[in-house]
Amino acid sequence: MLEIKNLHVQLEEEDKQILKGVNLTVGAGEVHAIMGPNGSGKSTLSYVLSGKDGYEVTDGSATLDGADILDMDPEERAAAGLFLAFQYPVEIPGVGNMTFLRTAVNSQRKARGEEEMSAGDFLKFVREKAKSLKIDAEMLKRPVNVGFSGGEKKRNEILQMAMLEPKMCILDETDSGLDVDAMKLVSEGVNALRSEGRSFLVITHYQRLLDHIKPDVVHIMADGRIIKTGGPELALEVENNGYADLLAEVA
């Protein structure tokens, strides 16, 4: 599914190396978590995978089902089945949520060479997805994220994810200041969307999130590298002992 090899990334603006050889393989249907101290490069990794400007890949590769994603523009990444949870957190006054979702779904279909969904089919599709995630249809009528509470934005993000039916979902929850309720929403959404053909990479600062989303694999990132990989017990170890012991072990 997702294979990252020896990924080196630096800032475009200044000569600063941030990722210093990241290796990571996420198999089909697996849920991986990345934890690590602040400033270790977790968000940079998700930005680079999303194709955000300002970062330069100086070495290494990232492929999704064998296809080089670093070479794709954001639409192509979405068409290939990659979803990044922070892709659409912006407020868009004047654009109804329903219109927005339909545009996202249809541009993905277009990039795949598929026909657009008719208005009727789309309505059925979005209602089904909203219902299965227990999302109030009222939210579909409002402008995208405008005046949404933190929880509503999270719900909307999960709905976007459900609508695009991605193969690989990357969630960076590190800096979003998740409260307990939002954390529950995210984890319920992820758990509802878990399936054999869909993988998740959940980036988080908080062990608590992993109480709700049971990861198959946990990685610890520090100073631009993955310094340790293990099972869910690794997240508990970090919660109990912090990162100091792990960092000392590696040093």
CA angle 209, 30, 68 (to 5 degrees): 110
The option from ligand ADP, Mg ion, none interacting with 41 (CB < 5 to 8 A, set by class) reads ligand ADP
Which residues are near ligand ADP by CB under 6 A?
A: 11, 18, 36, 38-44, 54, 174
* Residue number of the CB atom closest to Mg ion: 43
The option from ligand ADP, Mg ion, none interacting with 189 (CB < 5 to 8 A, set by class) reads none
Q: Is 70 helix (H, G, I), strand (E, B) or coil?
A: coil
Q: How far is the CB of 46 from Mg ion (least distance, A)?
A: 8
Q: Which amino acid is it at 187?
A: S
- Reported residue count of the chain is 251
Q: How far is the CB of 174 from Mg ion (least distance, A)?
A: 4
Residue of 17, 43, 61, 107 that binds Mg ion (CB under 5 A): 43
- DSSP output for 72-119: S-HHHHHHHTEEETTSS-S-EEEEEHHHHHHHHHHHHHHHTTPPPPPH
Q: How far is the CB of 43 from ligand ADP (least distance, A)?
A: 3
Nearer to ligand ADP, 44 or 97 (CB): 44
Residue 248 and residue 195: Cα distance in Å, rounded?
A: 37
The option from Mg ion, ligand ADP, none interacting with 230 (CB < 5 to 8 A, set by class) reads none
Nearer to Mg ion, 172 or 237 (CB): 172
Residue keyed to tokens 């990044």: 84
Q: How far is the CB of 171 from ligand ADP (least distance, A)?
A: 13
Nearer to ligand ADP, 15 or 233 (CB): 15
Which residues does 91 contact at the CB level (< 8 Å), separation at least 6? Answer: 143, 144, 145, 146, 148
Farthest-apart Cα atoms in the chain, separation: 59
Nearer to Mg ion, 135 or 171 (CB): 171
- By CB under 5 A, tell whether 38 contacts Mg ion: yes
Q: Map the footprint of Mg ion across residues 167-196, applying CB under 5 A.
A: 174-175
Nearer to Mg ion, 68 or 175 (CB): 175
* DSSP assigned state of 159: H
- By CB under 5 A, tell whether 108 contacts Mg ion: no
Q: Which residue spans within 143-211 are E strands per DSSP? A: 143-144, 168-172, 199-203
Residues lying near Mg ion in the complex (CB under 5 A)? 38, 42-43, 174-175
